[in-house]
Structure 1
Amino acid sequence: MNSTPALLTYSDRMWTRHSRSLATAIAAEMDRPADDVSCAALARWFLDIPAIIREQPDPVHAMDSIFALLREGWAVRTAS
Protein backbone atom coordinates (compact mmCIF):
# COMPACT_ATOMS: atom_id res chain seq x y z
CA MET A 1 0.00 0.00 0.00
CA ASN A 2 2.82 2.46 0.84
CA SER A 3 4.16 2.18 -2.70
CA THR A 4 0.81 3.07 -4.30
CA PRO A 5 0.14 6.81 -3.97
CA ALA A 6 -3.63 6.53 -4.52
CA LEU A 7 -3.99 3.88 -1.81
CA LEU A 8 -1.81 5.84 0.57
CA THR A 9 -3.88 8.98 0.06
CA TYR A 10 -7.08 7.02 0.58
CA SER A 11 -5.72 5.39 3.72
CA ASP A 12 -4.69 8.75 5.17
CA ARG A 13 -8.10 10.21 4.39
CA MET A 14 -9.88 7.28 6.07
CA TRP A 15 -7.65 7.61 9.13
CA THR A 16 -8.09 11.37 9.55
CA ARG A 17 -11.87 11.22 9.15
CA HIS A 18 -11.94 10.43 12.87
CA SER A 19 -10.61 13.85 13.85
CA ARG A 20 -13.96 15.23 15.01
CA SER A 21 -14.65 12.22 17.24
CA LEU A 22 -11.15 12.35 18.68
CA ALA A 23 -11.42 16.11 19.26
CA THR A 24 -14.67 15.59 21.16
CA ALA A 25 -13.06 12.89 23.31
CA ILE A 26 -10.04 15.10 24.02
CA ALA A 27 -12.33 17.99 24.95
CA ALA A 28 -14.29 15.78 27.33
CA GLU A 29 -11.08 14.54 28.94
CA MET A 30 -9.85 18.13 29.37
CA ASP A 31 -13.26 19.38 30.56
CA ARG A 32 -13.57 21.79 27.65
CA PRO A 33 -16.45 22.50 25.26
CA ALA A 34 -16.89 19.84 22.56
CA ASP A 35 -16.12 22.42 19.85
CA ASP A 36 -12.90 23.71 21.45
CA VAL A 37 -10.60 24.61 18.56
CA SER A 38 -7.41 23.65 20.43
CA CYS A 39 -8.80 20.15 20.96
CA ALA A 40 -9.67 19.94 17.26
CA ALA A 41 -6.13 21.00 16.34
CA LEU A 42 -4.59 18.47 18.72
CA ALA A 43 -6.77 15.68 17.33
CA ARG A 44 -5.87 16.51 13.74
CA TRP A 45 -2.19 16.78 14.59
CA PHE A 46 -2.27 13.46 16.39
CA LEU A 47 -3.98 11.73 13.46
CA ASP A 48 -1.40 13.12 11.03
CA ILE A 49 1.50 11.57 12.97
CA PRO A 50 1.59 8.32 10.91
CA ALA A 51 1.92 10.29 7.66
CA ILE A 52 4.64 12.50 9.14
CA ILE A 53 6.60 9.56 10.52
CA ARG A 54 6.33 7.62 7.28
CA GLU A 55 8.39 10.32 5.52
CA GLN A 56 11.26 10.28 8.06
CA PRO A 57 14.52 8.37 7.66
CA ASP A 58 14.39 7.32 11.34
CA PRO A 59 10.70 6.71 12.20
CA VAL A 60 11.40 5.71 15.81
CA HIS A 61 13.33 8.91 16.50
CA ALA A 62 10.61 10.92 14.75
CA MET A 63 7.90 9.34 16.90
CA ASP A 64 9.91 9.94 20.07
CA SER A 65 10.36 13.61 19.12
CA ILE A 66 6.70 14.08 18.32
CA PHE A 67 5.50 12.51 21.55
CA ALA A 68 8.07 14.51 23.56
CA LEU A 69 6.53 17.64 22.07
CA LEU A 70 3.08 16.40 23.02
CA ARG A 71 4.21 15.55 26.56
CA GLU A 72 6.30 18.64 27.24
CA GLY A 73 4.63 21.30 25.14
CA TRP A 74 6.05 23.80 22.67
CA ALA A 75 7.35 26.34 25.21
CA VAL A 76 9.48 23.75 27.01
CA ARG A 77 10.92 22.38 23.75
CA THR A 78 11.86 25.84 22.42
CA ALA A 79 13.26 27.19 25.70
CA SER A 80 16.41 25.06 25.59
Structure 2
Amino acid sequence: LGSMEVNYHFQVNHPAELEIGHRICRVGSKSFDMIAAIFIKNEVEPVCTTLFKMVSYSYIKDSTIPVPDIIRDNCRPL
Protein backbone atom coordinates (compact mmCIF):
# COMPACT_ATOMS: atom_id res chain seq x y z
CA LEU A 1 0.00 0.00 0.00
CA GLY A 2 1.58 3.25 -1.16
CA SER A 3 -1.22 5.55 -0.01
CA MET A 4 -4.85 5.51 1.06
CA GLU A 5 -7.53 8.19 0.88
CA VAL A 6 -10.81 7.73 2.75
CA ASN A 7 -13.76 10.10 2.42
CA TYR A 8 -16.69 9.83 4.83
CA HIS A 9 -19.82 11.35 3.30
CA PHE A 10 -22.40 10.81 6.05
CA GLN A 11 -23.05 8.86 9.21
CA VAL A 12 -24.54 5.37 9.35
CA ASN A 13 -26.87 4.48 12.22
CA HIS A 14 -26.99 1.04 13.80
CA PRO A 15 -28.50 -1.26 12.78
CA ALA A 16 -27.82 -0.88 9.06
CA GLU A 17 -27.35 -3.35 6.25
CA LEU A 18 -24.35 -2.30 4.16
CA GLU A 19 -23.05 -3.25 0.73
CA ILE A 20 -19.41 -2.85 -0.32
CA GLY A 21 -18.11 -2.51 -3.86
CA HIS A 22 -14.55 -2.29 -5.10
CA ARG A 23 -12.63 -2.41 -8.37
CA ILE A 24 -9.19 -2.00 -9.85
CA CYS A 25 -9.45 1.24 -11.82
CA ARG A 26 -5.89 1.96 -13.02
CA VAL A 27 -2.83 -0.15 -13.75
CA GLY A 28 0.66 1.19 -14.31
CA SER A 29 3.89 -0.72 -14.80
CA LYS A 30 4.58 -1.29 -11.07
CA SER A 31 1.52 0.14 -9.32
CA PHE A 32 -2.25 0.09 -9.53
CA ASP A 33 -5.24 1.89 -8.00
CA MET A 34 -8.27 0.38 -6.32
CA ILE A 35 -11.44 2.28 -5.48
CA ALA A 36 -14.08 1.16 -3.03
CA ALA A 37 -17.39 2.43 -1.70
CA ILE A 38 -19.74 1.48 1.11
CA PHE A 39 -23.48 1.89 0.61
CA ILE A 40 -26.52 1.46 2.80
CA LYS A 41 -28.45 -1.36 1.13
CA ASN A 42 -30.72 -0.10 -1.69
CA GLU A 43 -29.30 3.45 -1.51
CA VAL A 44 -27.52 5.15 -4.42
CA GLU A 45 -25.19 7.56 -2.60
CA PRO A 46 -22.18 6.01 -0.85
CA VAL A 47 -21.56 6.65 2.83
CA CYS A 48 -17.81 6.22 2.34
CA THR A 49 -15.44 6.16 -0.65
CA THR A 50 -11.77 5.20 -0.81
CA LEU A 51 -8.80 5.27 -3.15
CA PHE A 52 -5.93 2.85 -2.53
CA LYS A 53 -2.67 3.29 -4.43
CA MET A 54 -1.01 -0.11 -4.42
CA VAL A 55 2.62 -0.89 -5.28
CA SER A 56 3.64 -4.32 -6.59
CA TYR A 57 6.49 -5.37 -4.35
CA SER A 58 8.56 -8.51 -3.82
CA TYR A 59 9.71 -8.97 -0.24
CA ILE A 60 12.03 -11.73 -1.50
CA LYS A 61 13.76 -9.38 -3.98
CA ASP A 62 13.23 -6.36 -1.70
CA SER A 63 12.16 -4.26 -4.68
CA THR A 64 9.18 -3.29 -6.80
CA ILE A 65 8.05 -5.71 -9.50
CA PRO A 66 5.79 -5.45 -12.57
CA VAL A 67 2.07 -5.60 -11.83
CA PRO A 68 0.93 -9.24 -12.21
CA ASP A 69 -1.25 -10.13 -15.20
CA ILE A 70 -4.16 -11.16 -12.98
CA ILE A 71 -4.34 -7.55 -11.71
CA ARG A 72 -4.07 -6.16 -15.26
CA ASP A 73 -6.77 -8.54 -16.50
CA ASN A 74 -9.19 -7.38 -13.78
CA CYS A 75 -8.75 -3.64 -14.31
CA ARG A 76 -12.07 -1.88 -14.99
CA PRO A 77 -11.38 1.84 -15.60
CA LEU A 78 -14.13 4.28 -14.71
Q: Same fold (TM over 0.5)?
A: no
Q: TM-score, normalised by structure 1?
A: 0.27
Task: Name which structure has the greater RCO, CA cutoff 8 Å, separation 6+.
Answer: 2
Q: TM-score, normalised by structure 2?
A: 0.28
Structure with the larger strand share:
2
Which one has the largest radius of gyration?
Answer: 2
